[in-house]
Chains A and B, each alone.
Chain A
């Protein structure tokens, strides 16, 4: 327990942690500010103005069409001899809602905002996790600590525990702030939308999945930096994996017309995890025009369960290898 306290203290005292958390909050603040400034509440006056604008546009389109028709009647050759094909605008082409200013709808858009938050926090978690243990390896702090606490497994697990608890705290606090500010933007400068208990429950579940993703990202950064005994090792593996999978492997597989080449794109899996499912199209399959005459190719759906399984597997694999190497290797 005392070790856990010491590690928590080390985590929050570190400049790297502080700088990254502050930067994250700044970026989040910018997003909130942007949405808040550009969003407008749809008061009757605003709707009326949009309606007026739509009507005006419709009118001018009508006038334009009439003028064209008149000119065509005079000299049809200039219009290909077919005056009937001149488009006659309808009121449906000028709906008032298209003339409304941007207005943030909390019920509809908050899920996307949660995903933005998660993506940012996951990256920060990875970096903080990697540097938390990576720096310890570099500066001999790990060796110093082991002179005090020779049980290696316990030391590494406690460090990981302190890190993950910190990340959970960070995620929960920013998540609550995020929800509150966007709710306020919706309430005062936009629209809250339909907030049924079901919608709130869905936000809650997305939030939990977001939390899990942040925790796994932190643990992966920690584990990889511990295995490589260097902060940069984690970043190296992350960048390497991204290059190999995202660009290399998927390009090669696409060229080789492998089935479902997009399954190797990490973002598909993250999407599946956050939005409960993601579709991967088999671009190599022949088109099926049977229904609707469009090219239909087989679709594979990644469910959130599959994505969750993958995340768990990565987490377990990296953590177990990190533990094993930490216990086995000489510490110089």
Chain B
């Protein structure tokens, strides 16, 4: 597999009177050809900054980037025709119609103007194409944005929160559209907060937190890396659960009691559980790793899981708890 997108050591610092903010702090990313790649991260973690930098809109302080094998931003003019992008709900000139907006882009970009009607059809705006953009709803503007990104038949499609404002039907259409595009050989980079969506359509993901990559790989790999952390423990009937849980807690485990079993949250090495309990003549009846969903992995990796009684502020990252028993 060839890399369509490579980023390494990307650093972007915003300076203002209030001080210095490291929006990107040595970020790395790799997207392979033909994949739908999810780009996940909490608010303010640097997703949009990464995409803007990649597209030459902002200048990085440091780092290396390549799109379709060309160094960017230096060779961006050569690859621009192969990259379609929308960055954080783009705005359009309200007094032009969708048709006019896309036609202007098509002329400016030397794209066959027949494409305009094709993409309008594709995103479901055909009937409304001759109305002014300012009369559009949020989701319709978002569809227009996607249409503008598809206009040049890109090899790499970069979408920053494309589902923003779409109705459920629209989200599903978007999902199908992306699968179709990817099947036709297009590589799609997709940033989103809708993790269920990502889990459904993405082949691989990159998770970013505070300007750094915290995990990456195929969805299955990312999930697997963290699945073993949680195990469900069932004891022989009649054994005092509370007592056993207390025992593990003193050893440092995070234990959540359920009616007939308990869950150890940070069990890096499940064998430790059996060993500890067996030493006290408590025998385990069942020990199953709980397969995590992307959401819990995301919350754990980015340290943004809500904590009772606290209002987490953006940029606030809880110290991610290290595995227990490793």
Contacts and interface: CB of A to CB of B under 8 A. Distances in A.
Partners in one complex: yes
Contacts of B105: 6, 144-145, 148
A15 to B, nearest CB: 6
Given A2-B109, A10-B104, A148-B152, A331 B58 contact: yes
Contacts of B77: 149-151
A6 B58 contact: no
B232 interface: no
Given A6-B104, A6-B108, A144-B105, A149 B80 contact: yes
Contacts of A145: 105, 108
A14 B91 CA distance: 17
B92 A139 contact: yes
Nearest to A135: B93
A332 B55 CA distance: 11
Nearest to B85: A147
B104 A9 contact: yes
Q: Give the bracket for the number of chain B residues in contact with chain A.
A: 20 to 34
Contacts, number: 75
A148 B149 CA distance: 10
B76 interface: yes
B108 A149 contact: yes
A143 interface: yes
B108 A148 contact: yes
A13 B56 CA distance: 29
Given A149-B80, A151-B77, A140 B107 contact: no
Interface in B49-84: 52, 55-59, 73, 76-77, 80, 83
Interface in A127-180: 135-136, 139-141, 143-151
B148 interface: yes
B196 interface: no
B80 A5 contact: no
A330 B59 contact: yes
Nearest to A149: B108
A315 B92 CA distance: 30
B110 interface: yes
A18 to B, nearest CB: 11
Contacts of A147: 55, 57, 80, 83, 85, 87
A331 B148 contact: no
Contact of A13 (B73, B80, B96): B96
A3 B77 CA distance: 14
B90 interface: yes
Contacts of B56: 146, 150
Contacts of A141: 91-93
Nearest to B106: A6
Contacts of A139: 91-94
A143 B48 CA distance: 14
A327 to B, nearest CB: 10
Contacts of A330: 52, 57-59
A259 B37 CA distance: 71
B100 interface: yes
Interface in B152-172: 152
Contacts of A146: 55-57
B95 interface: yes
Interface in A276-332: 330-332
Contact of B73 (A2, A135, A149, A150): A150
B73 A144 contact: no
Nearest to A143: B57
A165 to B, nearest CB: 16
Contacts of B55: 146-147, 150
Contacts of A151: 77
Contact of A2 (B57, B76, B91, B110): B110
Interface string A186-224: 000000000000000000000000000000000000000
Nearest to A144: B90
Interface in B90-135: 90-96, 100, 104-105, 107-110
Interface string B168-200: 000000000000000000000000000000000
Contacts of B92: 139-141, 144
A5 B85 CA distance: 23
Nearest to A151: B77
Contacts of B58: 330-332
A15 B132 CA distance: 12
Nearest to A3: B108
Nearest to B107: A6
A148 B109 contact: yes
A205 B61 CA distance: 52
A295 B57 CA distance: 64
Contacts of A149: 77, 80, 108-109
A14 B90 CA distance: 20
Interface in B210-235: none
B98 to A, nearest CB: 13
A9 B95 CA distance: 14
A150 B95 contact: no
A2 B73 CA distance: 23
Contacts of A9: 104, 107
Nearest to A14: B95
A151 B77 CA distance: 6
8 contacts: A6-B108, A140-B90, A141-B91, A143-B87, A148-B80, A150-B76, A150-B80, A330-B58
- The 3 A-B pairs at the shortest CB distance, nearest first, are namely A140-B91, A6-B108, A330-B58
Interface of A: 2-3, 5-7, 9-10, 13-15, 135-136, 139-141, 143-151, 330-332
Interface of B: 52, 55-59, 73, 76-77, 80, 83, 85, 87, 90-96, 100, 104-105, 107-110, 148, 152
Given A147-B87, A151-B77, A331-B58, 5 more contacts: A6-B105, A136-B93, A139-B91, A140-B92, A148-B80
